[in-house]
Amino acid sequence: MGLEEVEKDILQRIESKSKAIDSLGEREADSIIAEARDEIKNLTKKRNSELEKTIEGLEKKETAFSNLQARKINLDVRKRIMESAYSKAFVKVEKIAIGKKQTFLKALLKKGRGEIDAFGVYTNAEDKALLKKLAPNLKHLGNIETSGGFILVNKEGSVQVDYTFETIFEETQRSSLKGVSDILFGK
């Protein structure tokens, strides 16, 4: 075997090993690329899933916020309607006929005297004469700013019973709020 043949044989072996190494490198490169593509695909799926959950959460929050705002507006409208109804009713009470007012004040006096040993009374200027007629034994202690009614006071001045129209109306409004709401808007 000559030098040329040895050289040729060595070159063939080198080329054969080189092709084997290239082939192995290509397979490894293809495997690495395939793994990278799979990982990218899995990460993309995971990220898309997280995004969908985030979007769903945001949509739920937005819906809840919108519902809360709608309820708030609804309650505000109901409140204004009820305040208007109470205001109109109070105006009617302020303009009550003298005969009805006398009957009403007489009933309030009876109730108030059942609560305290009344000595004196505060009234507005308009009701002073009417209360003097209904309860001549009560001392008129002075005029107060009120649409009607009175405040009874015991002799020591330590206990007062407020039967002014404003106070009666406020208490009635508080205690009847749910019932009036049910009547106006249903349950």
**pLDDT at 1 (0 to 100):** 59
CATH architecture of 96-185: 2-Layer Sandwich (3.30)
Among 93, 157, 146, 85, smallest CA distance to 120 is for: 157
| pLDDT of 150 | 93
**Model pLDDT, residue 187:** 67
pLDDT of 123 reads 94
Q: Is the dihedral of CA 4, 6, 9, 14 positive or negative?
A: negative
Q: If you ran DSSP here, which 8-state letter would residue 64 be given? A: H
Closest CA to 122 of 144, 89, 90: 144
CA 61 to chain centre: 15
pTM across the whole model: 0.58
Sorted by where each begins, the domain ranges of the chain are 1-95, 96-185
| pLDDT of the chain, 187 residues: tens digit per residue | 577 887 777 778 888 887 777 777 788 877 888 888 888 899 889 999 998 999 999 899 999 999 989 888 988 888 888 788 888 887 887 788 888 888 989 999 999 988 889 899 999 998 999 999 999 999 999 999 998 999 999 989 889 999 999 998 888 888 777 776 677 667 6
Q: What is the predicted pLDDT for the residue at 184?
A: 67
SS3 of 62, please? Answer: helix
pLDDT of residue 5: 80
| DSSP string computed for 99-151 | HHHHHHHHHHHHHHHHHS-EEEEEE-TTTHHHHHHH-TTSEEEEE-S-SSEEE
Rounded to an integer, what is the distance from CA 181 to the centroid of its chain? Answer: 17
